[in-house]
Structure 1
C-alpha cells in the first residue's frame, strides 16, 4: 500500500475533521445503557488519577490492551504510539524520540544523554547510551507522556517520558498463569517463547509475585558468502566460515520478583529485583546493494547484554500527607563484537592505509578491523517526595532527587597479526583503544502545585531546580608507534582508568538551572475538559571523548493546547493536543575525523504538530481504537559546523528520524460462540517517510527512509481459564526501515535497519 505525502495530509485532516464532527454530534446521538469504555487510571503526575482528569498528553496501554496488541518489547508498543519514533541498530541499542525532537544522534557511549526517559515503576532505567529494552509481560500498563516532563521526571525527560508499570504483589488471593508461543518469520526461521507468573499471598498483609520469561527470536537476515579485496597488498579475504542464513537470532530470558508488605493500614514497603539477559548474534541491518535482508560480514557480530535492577519503594501517610521513597540500583554489562571492515576497506581504497597495517615482518596483512567492546554501567537513583491530599482544593507535591550513573568504556579496534610496533601498549593487535570512565550526576529539588480556582478552573504550576555534573576521563587513541600526535603521544599523565596505557583525557562540565511548567485546566463538565500548558525541558551538557570544548546543555520550550473528552455515555473517548516547541542549542552528534563521534551545539530548531487518539465502543463486543500525529519539525536557522563555515543544513530543512505523519487504527470484535468467547482483531499502522541524517551531504549519501504500512491480525478463543490465539504481524511483509547509516565518514556503503518481516504464530495460555 502506497500513500503519497499529499494523500497523507488529506487523510490526516480528514481523520481529524471526522473525529471532530463525531464529537460535536455526539450529544444528539447519545445513548443510554449498553457497553462502555473502562476507566483508565494512571500515575503520570505521581498520583493515581483517571486518565481523563490529567492535563497532559498521555497514552496508556493497559495489561489487556498490551496482550491484545501482541506487545512483547519496545518496538511492539512504539509502533502504536504516533508521536514516538525509534532508531535501532540491534536489541538493546535503541534511541527513542518524541514529537520530532531529534537531531540524528548515533547513541555513542560518549554522546548526549537521551531526550526521552524510560522508567520502570518509580525508577529511571535510561542508561547513557539508551534505555533498557525490557521484555513486556505481566505489565500493568505502559504510560507515554508527551512533551517536556522535566518538572517531575528530570533531565532525560526533555521531550517526554515512557513509564513501564509492573503488576504488583497482592494479598487478595493466589493467581498464576503462563503463555507459550511458537512463530515463523518470513525469510527466516522459527521462534518460540515461554512466560509465566505466580502471585502468592503470605498472610493477610503480604504477598510475593514472581515472573519469568524465555524467548527465542528467529533470524531473518542472511550473511552471504563473499570476498573482499583490499587494494594495498593486494589482499583478498572471504567469509566462508561465517556465511549463514538467518544469522541474526536473539535469545532473551529474565525474571522479576517483588514482595509487598503492608506494615499497617498506613505504611507499605515493596522491594523488587529484576534481571534480563539478551544474547544476539549477527547483524540487524542489510546491504541494499545485495538485496533485501542480505548482507556480507567478514567478522563476527554479536552482543551479550545483561542487567539487573534492585528497587525499593516505601509508601505511607503521616497526618494527612502522603510520603514516598523510591530508590534503585542497577548494573548493566554489554560484551560485544562487531565487524568494522567497511572502515578498513574505504580508508585503504581512498588513502592507502593498508600500508601501515602490516604484520611484524612488514608483509601485507588481512587488515579487516573489528571492534571488541566491554561496557559496564551502574546507576543509582533516590527520590523522596511528599504530597498533600488529592481531594483538597490546594494540592502540593514536592521532593528531592539524586541520580548517579557511571559507564566504564572499553572499545578495542583490532586487526589480527598487527605489527607490534603500532599496537597500543599492552593491548595486542589493537590499533585503537578507548578506555574511559564516564560519570553523570544529577541533583534536583522539585515542587508541583495545583489549585481549584473555581469548580471548573484549575491552575497548576511546577518547578525543578537542578545541578548536573558530567565527567569523562581516561585514554583514547593510537599507540605511539602509529601516531606522533594523538593517543599515547598526547598523554599527560599515568593511567587513571585501570588498564589504560596512560591518560590523555580528563574533563568535567557542570550545569545548573531550572525547568518549569504552567498549566490551566477548564472542565466544561465531568466528561469534557481543555487545558493550556507552557513547559520547559533540558539535557545537561557533556564532554567530547576527543577532548576540546565540551558541548553545552540544550533546552526545549513547549506551548500546548489539549483536550480530554468522553461522549455517548462513556462509549466514545476523544483526546488530543496541538503543540508548538522551540529547541535551543540542540546537541548534534556526527562522525568526524577517523570516524570518531563529535558532539556540538547546533543552534535552533522548532516543532509544531497535532496528536489525537480515539477509543469507541461501537456495539456490544465491537471496539475501535485509533491514534495519529502530524508533526512538522525543522531547523529554525542554518546549521554550520563553524560560524564562519559553509551551510551544512539550511534553515527550514526537516529534522531527521520523525515522519511527518504517523497513525494507527485497531478494530476488535468479541462474541460468544458456543461455550467459548471468541475474538478477531485487525490493526493497521502507517509511518511516513523521513531522513535519518540532518546534514544535506549525509542525506544525499544515505538516502531517505520510505513510507510504509503494516497490517496485524489476530483471532482466538477462550473459555475463561485457557486461551488460544493465532496471529500475524506485518501480514503483507512490508519492507519498512528504522534506520539508514554508513560505518564511517568516508564510507559510501549504506546499511539499512529494517522492521521485522512477517511473523505468523500461535499462542496458548492458562490462568489459575
Structure 2
C-alpha cells in the first residue's frame, strides 16, 4: 500500500508541477487530432463512432510503448499471454485464444493480417514499434471490415511510409541491466531517401539483445520433483534472446493518381531458453532441464499495394505473402519418467511453418454529399505444418525394453508426428454511411463469407501403438455465413460523438487429430473430429467528448457480448486433450479513457476497463471433464484493469528541455487456463507495474534514464504445464514479468 501511495504521488507530482518557461508548441497529435483509418477511410479519432485507442509516434514515445506488452498495459480491455520472447497471444474484451486455435484478435501490419493459428510454442509476433506512424486498437467485433479472427477486435500497426519530399533519418540506442540478471542492449535506425520527385525508399532496422534472468539447473531424477541447491546451476541468465527486424518500402507515384508501394518485413527471434520458470524450485527465476532449450522463429511479410484514384472513388489492391518458420527444443525427460518410472533423458523438437496468401480489393467513395460507401472482396489461404519429434537414445531403448521388441532398428528417434492444416476464407463486404441529418449518421455494413478448414496428420514410432494415434486422413469443415454491423452516430456538436452499435464477429473452427487407440479416449471419439466456428454478437453504446480547446478528452463505452460455441480445450479422462464448442459465454463490460493537457508542459492520461466474462451454458459432458460450470469466469480475462500516466516538460534554457514521465498499470486477478484447458477457481494474483523516465532534449538529441518495473513486482503473466508438468503432477511453469530493469537511452531525431 505504501508503494502504491508513493507511486500515485510521484505521478501526480509530475503531472501538476508548475511550468517556469515560455509555452512550447503543443504536439500535433494532442487534443484528439490523431487521424485513423479504423473505418478503412481517414477520420479524426474523436469523430469515429466506435471504441478505438490510437497512439501516434509521439504518444508511443511518451508512454514508453515499445512492444505488445507495453501496448497492453496502456489500452483498455487488451490482454496478452506471453508464449516466448517476441511472441504472445492477445485478447480483447474477454475474447482470447490458445494453442491450436485461430486468433480472437486480428493483428495487421498496414493492410496485411497475421492470421496464423497458434501452435504450441509460437503465437502472434510482437512487432517492434520503432518508426511507427501510429498504432490503432479497435475494440469490439470487426467482422464486417476485417473478417475472421476479429471477434474481440483488431490491432493495426501503421508504419511510416516513404516520402519523396525530403531526406530524413533517425535512430536510437540503449543499454539496460535487469535486477538479478544480465545486461541488454539494442540499436534501431530508420532512413527515408527520395529517389526522384515521384519515388522514395524507406528502410528501418532494429536489433535488441534481451537480458536473461532465469537460472537453469541440470535436471536429475531428484530434480524433477524436489528443490535443488545453487551448486546445481549450469547456466545463469539462461533466457537471453535476440530480436532482429528489417522493414523496407518503396513508393512510386506512377502518374494519373496511381501509387505503387511494394514493401518487405523480416523478423528473426533467437531464444536460448524458454521464459517460464518452474514452481517446484525455490526462489524466483529458476528452471531445470537436461540441456539447453533453444528456439528460433523467422517471419517474412511481402506486400504490394496499388492505389488508384477514380474521381470520387479510391481503388486499393493489397496483395500479401507471409511465411513463418520456427524450431524449438524442449526437455521431455519428466514425461518419460512419469510414463516409465525411469530416468531416460530425451528432447522434443517442434519444427513448424506457415505460408499465407492474402488478396484484398476495395473501393472507397469520397463524396461531398450525405452518402459514402466502401465495398470489397477478400481472399486468404494459409497452410500450416507442425511437427513433433522425440529424440534421445536412452528413452528409445527404454521404450523398446518395456513395450518391444521394436519391429525395426532402434535409433534415437522414438516418435515423429506431422500435422498439416489449411484455412481458407473468401468474402465480400460493403458498408454505407448516410447522413440522415446534420447531427445523425447511420452506418450499416455486411460481410458474407465462406470458410474452409482442413486437417490431416501422420505419425511413426519405434514401438507401434504406444505414442501415436491412427493417421488422420484429411478432415474438411466448411461454413458460409454473414456478419452485419449497424451503428447510429449522433453528433450534437463538433466536440461530442454519441453512438450505439450492434455488430457480429466470427472465428474459424477446425478439426482434431486422432489420439492413440491404446489410451481409450471415449469422450474425444464421441464428440467427433470437427469443431465449428464460434461467433459473437456485440451490443454497445459509447460517448466521445472533448472541451472546445481540446484540453480535456473523455471517451467511454459500455457493452454486452454474447459468445456462442466457445472453442475450448477439453481434457479427456484418458489423458489426451481435444478441441470442442464447449458452451456459451456472456461478457458485460465498460471502458473509460481520459486525457488532460492543462498546459503545453503537462500531459496526464488514464484508462480503465471492467469485464465480467462468464460461462452462461456448459454442456454436462464437457463441464464434468474440464471442471467448469455455468457462472464460472472465462479464462484469461481480468475483471479490472487500469493505468495512469503523466509527463512534465520543462524548458531550462533556449537549447534544452528536460522531462519526467511516469506510468502505473494495474491488472486485477485473472482466471487462467493451463495449456488451453479451463482451470476453474484458480486465479493469477493481481499485480501493479510502474515505469519512470527522466531525460532531456536539445537539437534533435534525446538522452534519458529509464526504469521499468520500478518496484520489482513479480507479476505472473501466464501459468501452464509447458510440455510435461501436469503429467508429472509435480510443478507448473510460471511466466513472470521481467524484474526491475534500469537503462540509458539515446535518440537522434531527424
Report the TM-score when normalising by structure 1: 0.87
SS at match of 1:575: strand
Q: 1:225 to 1:112 in 2, by over 3 A?
A: closer
Who is 2:727 aligned against? 746
Which of the numbers 134, 153, 156 marks the counterpart of 1:160? 153
- Residue 734 of structure 1 and its aligned partner are, at CA, apart by 0.4
Distance in structure 2 (CA, Å) of the matches to 1:122 and 1:473: 30
Q: Note the alpha carbon deviations across 1:510-539, whole angstroms, 9 max, x for none.
A: 111111101100001000010000001111
Matched, 1:530 2:498: yes
Which of the numbers 474, 478, 482 marks the counterpart of 1:510? 478
Distance in structure 2 (CA, Å) of the matches to 1:324 and 1:680: 43
User: Which aligned pairs between 1:56-135 and structure 2 lie closer than 5 A?
Assistant: 56-102=50-96, 105-107=97-99, 111-129=100-118, 130-135=123-128
Q: 1:293 to 1:665 in 2, by over 3 A?
A: same
Distance in structure 2 (CA, Å) of the matches to 1:650 and 1:244: 44
Distance in structure 1 (CA, Å) of the matches to 2:95 and 2:56: 26
Q: 1:682 to 1:239 in 2, by over 3 A?
A: closer
Distance in structure 1 (CA, Å) of the matches to 2:620 and 2:78: 28
Moved over 6 A (4+): 33-36, 237-242, 422-427, 694-698
Distance in structure 1 (CA, Å) of the matches to 2:310 and 2:675: 56
Which of the numbers 385, 389, 414 marks the counterpart of 1:431? 414
User: Which aligned pairs between 1:263-662 and structure 2 lie closer than 5 A?
Assistant: 263-289=254-280, 290-345=282-337, 347-348=338-339, 353-354=340-341, 366-389=343-366, 391-417=368-394, 418-419=396-397, 428-476=411-459, 478-479=461-462, 481-483=463-465, 487=468, 490=470, 503-546=471-514, 548-592=528-572, 596-642=576-622, 648-662=627-641
Distance in structure 2 (CA, Å) of the matches to 1:159 and 1:387: 25
SS at match of 2:149: helix
Who is 1:713 aligned against? 692
- Residue 51 of structure 1 and its aligned partner are, at CA, apart by 0.4
Distance in structure 2 (CA, Å) of the matches to 1:423 and 1:731: 57
* Structure 2 unaligned spans of 5+: 9-24, 516-527
Q: Note the alpha carbon deviations across 1:364-402, whole angstroms, 9 max, x for none.
A: 6x4234210111111110000001115431111000000
- Contact 2:570–2:625 (8 Å) recurs in 1: no
SS at match of 2:221: strand
- Contact 1:385–1:397 (8 Å) recurs in 2: yes
- Residue 671 of structure 1 and its aligned partner are, at CA, apart by 1.6
- Contact 1:126–1:132 (8 Å) recurs in 2: no
SS at match of 2:605: strand
Q: 1:242 to 1:591 in 2, by over 3 A?
A: farther
Q: 1:427 to 1:466 in 2, by over 3 A?
A: farther
Which of the numbers 198, 203, 222 marks the counterpart of 1:210? 203
SS at match of 2:537: strand
Q: 1:230 to 1:250 in 2, by over 3 A?
A: closer
Report the TM-score when normalising by structure 2: 0.89
Q: Note the alpha carbon deviations across 1:408-450, whole angstroms, 9 max, x for none.
A: 2211123333136577979943333221221111110001111
Distance in structure 1 (CA, Å) of the matches to 2:165 and 2:364: 27
How big is the alpha-carbon RMSD for the aligned residues of Structure 1 and Structure 2?
Answer: 2.9
- Contact 1:641–1:648 (8 Å) recurs in 2: no
- Contact 2:569–2:678 (8 Å) recurs in 1: no
Distance in structure 1 (CA, Å) of the matches to 2:455 and 2:691: 45
Which of the numbers 230, 233, 242 marks the counterpart of 1:251? 242
Distance in structure 2 (CA, Å) of the matches to 1:320 and 1:65: 33
- Residue 319 of structure 1 and its aligned partner are, at CA, apart by 3.0
Distance in structure 2 (CA, Å) of the matches to 1:395 and 1:138: 32
Distance in structure 1 (CA, Å) of the matches to 2:593 and 2:490: 20
- Contact 1:649–1:695 (8 Å) recurs in 2: no
- Residue 642 of structure 1 and its aligned partner are, at CA, apart by 4.5
- Residue 205 of structure 1 and its aligned partner are, at CA, apart by 1.0
Moved more, 671-680 or 546-555: 546-555
SS at match of 2:126: coil
- Contact 1:639–1:648 (8 Å) recurs in 2: no
- Contact 2:215–2:233 (8 Å) recurs in 1: no
- Contact 1:648–1:696 (8 Å) recurs in 2: no
Q: 1:426 to 1:196 in 2, by over 3 A?
A: farther
- Residue 243 of structure 1 and its aligned partner are, at CA, apart by 1.9
Who is 1:26 aligned against? none
Q: 1:647 to 1:470 in 2, by over 3 A?
A: closer
- Residue 697 of structure 1 and its aligned partner are, at CA, apart by 10
Q: 1:639 to 1:742 in 2, by over 3 A?
A: farther
SS at match of 1:44: coil
- Residue 694 of structure 1 and its aligned partner are, at CA, apart by 8.3
Matched, 1:688 2:688: no
* Structure 1 unaligned spans of 5+: 12-32, 355-363, 491-502
Q: Note the alpha carbon deviations across 1:463-519, whole angstroms, 9 max, x for none.
A: 11111111111314644x2417x737x3xxxxxxxxxxxx44321111111111011
